[in-house]
Amino acid sequence: MSGTTPPPPRVAVVGVNGHGRSHLQHVLDAHAAGRLRLAAVADPRLDDLPELPAGTRRHPDLGDLLAEGVPEAVVLSTPIHTHAALATAAVRAGADVLLEKPPTATAAEFTELSATVEAAGRLCQVGFQSLGSAAVDHVRRRVADGRVGEVTGYSAAGCWVRTRAYYQRARWAGHRHLDGRVVADGALTNPLAHAVATALAVAGAQRAEDVTAVETDLFHVHDIEADDTSAARVHLAGGRDLLVAVTLCAAERGEPFVVVEGTAGRITLYYTLDTVVEEVPGHPPLVTRHERTHLLTDLLAARAQGTPLRSPLADSGGFTRVLEAVVTGPAPRPVAEGFFERLELPGGDEGRRLTGVEQAVAAALRERATFSELGLPWTR
């Protein structure tokens, strides 16, 4: 008896500019390889697209797309404050979803969306792509095997560069709120959100109940409402805590990382590189590199074979508690002129470097203290 191969799953990409362009490219490559079929795209701006396969539908929005036919999976890469409504519409229509991070702009939206996904019996994978890496499992295994002794704490750091053009590319960029909605576009909740989410994954503290309290210490160097230079102490059930220190006003881009500190050593995960460095006194550093599964590939495998998702919505519960604390806590404070340097960039763009911020991030991790607790002059 000859078996019939099922047709490849139909996938739609919603939000095809900005970061969505890399999703579109990935889907085009997978389409060309026959692993899926690009069924449709949706975006109010469809003027500047690469060539799409014949028959790909184009829609101005998701409602229009779903009305013309529901694909098996929808990739949502739209502004943060649109996530809850779009993901709700997609799963209610019967699609599984790869939803960009952060999954929602508020904890209330997160709770509601979780219930909707559950009731619809659909899959919702959150686009923290670092969680597709086997490096996370490796770190957890090494810690469980006692390689660093007893864990004393977790930390995460990131020193990146974002310029004025980044904040001018879209109306919502750099906002905590916009038009009466929570937007949550700060360093901890958007560009360096992976630092928080990956650290929580390494700590085995991804569920909402795993995060018991959050202290935030937020600043902005750019003329924005949200934070671009931020520290947070995240208290975890079980008594450990996670200290995070990040900036988007570094002199140059550094590799962000997550650290597990123990009584006998430490493990550092460079989460964009899938690379782990284990340091135990008396031994040479052990460097390992790991495979990464694309979260859409993982979602389609979960659909087809019932395997667990690498980044299910429920595992963003702890992250969402941090996001909620960032958005509802004290507003980011402006860093005064004189503490940062302005850089003229091509095309009228402007960079801002917070003097000594790399040392401040390092000190925050070393002392397990926020920037304000360190008493840094720009925090006063």
351 binds ligand NAD, rule: CB under 6 A? no
Number of residues lying near ligand NAD (CB under 6 A): 25
Q: Is 80 in the site for ligand NAD (CB under 6 A)?
A: yes
- State yes or no: residue 141 binds ligand NAD (CB under 6 A): no
The token pair that represents 204 in the structure block = 């085995």
Contact 176, 184 (CB under 8 A): yes
Among 17, 198, 247, 370, binds ligand NAD (CB under 6 A): 17
Tell me whether residue 86 or residue 360 sits nearer to ligand NAD (CB atom).
86
Site for ligand NAD in 110-129 (CB under 6 A): 127, 129
| Stretch 274-293 residues interacting with ligand NAD (CB under 6 A) | none
Strand pairing class (275-279; 286-289): antiparallel
Of 77-85, 143-151, 313-321, 341-349, the segment contacting ligand NAD by CB under 6 A is 77-85
Under the binding rule (CB under 6 A), the answer on residue 19 touching ligand NAD is yes
15 binds ligand NAD (CB under 6 A): yes
Considering the rule CB under 6 A, would residue 42 count as an interface residue with ligand NAD? yes
Cα–Cα distance, 246 to 371 (Å, whole number): 10
Query: Which residue is associated with the tokens 């469809």?
Result: 46
Using CB under 6 A as the binding rule, whether residue 169 contacts ligand NAD is answered as yes
Tell me: does residue 170 bind ligand NAD (CB under 6 A): yes
Q: Is 133 in the site for ligand NAD (CB under 6 A)?
A: no
Q: Binding ligand NAD by CB under 6 A: which of 56, 114, 133, 190?
A: 190
Q: Tell me if 233 contacts ligand NAD by CB under 6 A.
A: no
Task: Tell which one of 11, 72, 82, 371 touches ligand NAD (CB under 6 A).
Answer: 82
Examine residue 109 and tell whether it contacts ligand NAD (CB under 6 A). no
Please identify, among the stretches 9-17, 216-224, 310-318, 365-373, the one whose residues bind ligand NAD according to the rule CB under 6 A. 9-17
Binding of ligand NAD at residue 366 (CB under 6 A)? Answer: no
Report the residue from 96, 100, 261, 315 that binds ligand NAD according to the rule CB under 6 A.
Answer: 100
Shortest Cβ distance from residue 15 to ligand NAD (Å)?
3
Q: Considering only residues 11, 12, 13, 20, which one is a binding residue for ligand NAD as defined by CB under 6 A? A: 20
Whole-number minimum distance, CB 166 to ligand NAD, in Å? 9
Q: Does 298 bind ligand NAD (CB under 6 A)?
A: no
Q: What is the 3-state secondary structure (H, E, C) of the chain?
A: CCCCCCCCCEEEEECCCCCHHHHHHHHHHHHHCCCCEEEEEECCCCCCCCCCCCCCEEECCHHHHHHCCCCCEEEECCCHHHHHHHHHHHHHHCCEEEECCCCCCCHHHHHHHHHHHHHHCCCEEECCHHHHEHHHHHHHHHHHCCCCCCEEEEEEEEECECCHHHHHCCCCCCCCEECCEECCCCCCCCCCHHHHHHHHHHCCCCCHHHEEEEEEEEEECCCCCCCCEEEEEEEECCCCEEEEEEECECCCCCCCEEEEEECCEEEEEECCCCEEEEECCCCCCEEEECCECCHHHHHHHHHHHCCCCCCEHHHHHHHHHHHHHHHHCCCCEECCCCCEEEEECHHHCEEEEECCHHHHHHHHHHHCCCHHHHCCHHHC
Which of the stretches 42-50, 107-115, 279-287, 298-306 binds ligand NAD when contact is defined by CB under 6 A? 42-50
- The neighbour count for residue 266, using CB atoms within 10 Å, is 20
Decide: is 320 part of the binding site for ligand NAD (CB under 6 A). no
Q: Is 43 in the site for ligand NAD (CB under 6 A)?
A: yes
CB of 78 to ligand NAD, least distance (A): 4
Please state, in angstroms and rounded to a whole number, the distance separating the CA atoms of residues 190 and 272: 15
CB of 46 to ligand NAD, least distance (A): 9
Alpha carbon dihedral 97, 102, 105, 109, in 10-degree steps, equals 40
Contact positions vs ligand NAD (CB under 6 A): 14-20, 42-45, 61-62, 77-80, 82, 100-101, 127, 129, 169-170, 190
